[in-house]
Amino acid sequence: MNETTGPASIVVLSAGVSEGSTTRLLGERLGRAAVERLTEEGVAAEARIVDLAPLAVDTARAIVSGLSSPELEAATAIVTSADALVLATPVYKAGVSGLMKSYLDTLDTDALIAMPAVVGATGGSPRHAMVPDEQLRPLLAYFRAIAAPTAVYAAPEDWGDPGLTKRIRRAAIELAALVRADARAEIVGHAWQGYQHDAVEGGAIDFDSDLMRLATGGARV
């Protein structure tokens, strides 16, 4: 996080498909709780929502053809320049939304290195409570992002339970701590050359790109 670039940006990546979905609601609550925590600690912050449902066709086209639309590129610019992410997905048939997985498949391998993140999911049964840990956390590990210790899952009966609010608050505290520690700039700034960069094999790394400047705490020009 760089104080000169404005408020810390908490970006909620929501794979909810219906208007007013519980998935989007969970993501919003997590993002808002993280902003509130950072504000309590004297750090200016704001939350933004990136809804994946309107990008479904563009995402599928990008996977099949490798061609990205302006809308998809704009969403990805918001995601990759964030100070932290909240991933919120519905659970279908014991698995994360294909929309969430497909979107993540469009990202460059290096796009989320050391990105602080919280994983969350909603579903129709408490039986799926481990899905965020079992499926979203390994995806973030592949991208070499930093997942907060607490994952948040919400079944229908959880929405009236104070325990859900406590889990959201705990996850937000963890995410805020990672943002305040400026973990991404510290790790990427000192360890970039130590990573294997599959996406740039055979070519030079452009340290002056917008992505690299943002990842290491600099301002986009």
On whether the CB atoms of residues 99 and 59 are closer than 8 A, the answer is yes
On whether the CB atoms of residues 86 and 118 are closer than 8 A, the answer is yes
Which segments of 131-213 are extended strands (E)?
146-147, 152-154
The class of domain 3-215 in CATH terms is alpha beta
Q: What would the two tokens of residue 214 be? A: 């943002």
pLDDT averaged over the chain? 89
First to last CA, the chain: 17
In this structure, the number of other CB atoms found within 10 A of the CB of residue 43 comes to 17
Q: What is the pLDDT of residues 3-12, one digit of tens each?
A: 446 899 999 9
On whether the CB atoms of residues 210 and 218 are closer than 8 A, the answer is no
On whether the CB atoms of residues 52 and 100 are closer than 8 A, the answer is yes
On whether the CB atoms of residues 32 and 169 are closer than 8 A, the answer is no
CA dihedral 131, 136, 141, 143 (to 10 degrees): 160
Does residue 81 carry a pLDDT above 70? yes
Does residue 74 carry a pLDDT above 70? yes
What is the pTM assigned to this prediction?
A: 0.85
What is the mean pLDDT of the segment spanning 124-147?
96
Q: What is the pLDDT of residues 14-52, one digit of tens each?
A: 999 988 899 999 999 999 999 999 999 999 999 999 999
Q: What would the two tokens of residue 135 be? A: 């499926």
Q: What is the pLDDT of residues 155-198, one digit of tens each?
A: 999 999 999 999 999 999 999 999 998 878 878 877 777 777 86
pLDDT for position 200: 46
Does residue 201 carry a pLDDT above 60? no
Tell me the C-alpha distance between 15 and 97, whole Å: 7
Tell me the C-alpha distance between 176 and 41, whole Å: 9
More confidently predicted of 153 and 219 = 153
Provide, rounded to the nearest whole percent, the portion of the chain with pLDDT above 70: 87
In this structure, the number of other CB atoms found within 10 A of the CB of residue 68 comes to 16
